[in-house]
Structure 1
């Protein structure tokens, strides 16, 4: 299992354990940011229950979460294929419910990586197609999309200076049964 899937499970488990955290998560985390469809559907169901005024979603602190929160989320129209045992797997995947904001950030970073990879693949395909056609229009359009993504995430590309010098080897390779040192001494 990848760390991204573990982060998705942890954030969903945190919301199962402390539904009041949806207030802090929902402005940033949207259902389509999850990589697995079941996670997308489950988070959408949680947001729907919160919007419908489920009493658990208003609870703050260490108040025991009503079982109805888990059962109604699992039984929601958004999550038909979800089983109760998977919901409990999500709950057990959350080591610390208070860290839901950190798990949210991991999920968002995964979504950013997937988006950049998808657009980079499109840029590559457009570049090859433009090279075949003898134009650059599609390449420029896809390059602009990547530049817009970088600006939106405040991560403008920055040039990196090459290293000043390569580190010198400590010893030269074994030649005829002995090591030759940097000073040129032979065995």
Structure 2
């Protein structure tokens, strides 16, 4: 995430060990202070890319001031003083001595473009972390009126940022992140989730015909393995055209070994005998929790990648895109669950055949015109 301290805070004398990008920023600024004409070879970099506020202020001042003539610059500090005067209103902690420090620490001014790429790369990593953290926060914000829409919108924003990022950094093979990510967390688990799954199973047992239109719900969407297995029992009976009630589901569950773990038959029948509402409603609730949980896991995985400075920009792009792809299938099924089925297209009538001769010529009619 971009570092934006108080502009009146002197953050130049760093006590703790600075990160490598600090030295890249110093070297880039020192290179331009020594040879301002190298600004022309550096594009797509502004003050907001710098992790240090004072460094960003200096860069903006350099960008806004016309570069001096090389001969004049070698013999006069006029341009250096102008840069300092332009940057100080935004970073009062800047001093002339610090500009001399920047000049001294720059290894080679001719490497300015390489230093600039380092600055852009670290800014990309921090910005990716910001987007990933926002996705995690949105997916867990229970106060949102439409959490799924907000979460998917944030996922889109993250995806668009990755697209822009891909155009800024050259790709290369073998670019998966090396970071070990934590195991997915069931962020949607809780008593409410368990209760909704039980209500779904009971209501689906009472109204099994409605399961034929609920292919958008999968066993992996359930929080408890038992509930996922019972959903498979129900869908198997429905797909095979078998009778469905609490006893037939119990029999199917027995064949799947669900009673071997201490589950009592009476408890299973009781679980399936309290229908409320419709299966579609409870199924949508289960799928919503699963989608938000997946978004939480995806955002956490991308944040873990971005927190590891060992990953290159392209590794971050590749790993993050793969993580977002894990959300795509759930997103597609969510849209199927919330969108009304499309009406079947009307078929054009066959032309009437005249007894006096061959059938008349019929011009093609578009499907849209028949609707």
Once the two structures are superposed, residues 92-130 of structure 1 have per-residue CA deviations (whole angstroms, 9 ceiling, x without a partner) of 221110000000000001110111011111000001115
In the alignment, what sits opposite 1:70? 80
1:81 Cα shift? Answer: 2.9
What is the rounded CA distance, in whole Å, between the counterparts of 2:75 and 2:134 in structure 1?
45
Once the two structures are superposed, residues 54-109 of structure 1 have per-residue CA deviations (whole angstroms, 9 ceiling, x without a partner) of 424xx39xx83632122221122455431011111111221110000000000001
Once the two structures are superposed, residues 1-58 of structure 1 have per-residue CA deviations (whole angstroms, 9 ceiling, x without a partner) of 1101111111100100110011111x221111111110111111111212xxx424xx
User: After the TM superposition, which residues 163-174 of structure 1 pair with which residues of structure 2 at under 5 Å, given as runs?
Assistant: none
In the alignment, what sits opposite 2:68? 55
Q: SS state of the match for residue 74, structure 2? A: coil
Where in structure 1 do 4 or more consecutive aligned residues deviate above 6 Å?
131-134
Structure 1: gaps (5+ residues)? 160-187
* 144-153 vs 101-110, which moves further: 144-153
In the alignment, what sits opposite 1:101? 113
Task: Tell me which of 59, 63, 88 is aligned to 2:100.
Answer: 88
In the alignment, what sits opposite 1:38? 54
In the alignment, what sits opposite 2:138? 126
In the alignment, what sits opposite 2:153? 141
Change (3 A) 1:18 1:29: same
1:146 Cα shift? Answer: 1.1
- In the alignment, structure 1 residue 19 sits paired with structure 2 residue 29: no
TM-score by length of 2: 0.38
Count, aligned residues: 151
Higher relative contact order, chain-length normalized (CA < 8 Å, sep 6+): 1
Change (3 A) 1:101 1:152: same
Q: SS state of the match for residue 61, structure 2? A: helix
Change (3 A) 1:132 1:142: closer
TM-score by length of 1: 0.72
What's the C-alpha RMSD, in Å, of the aligned pairs? 2.4
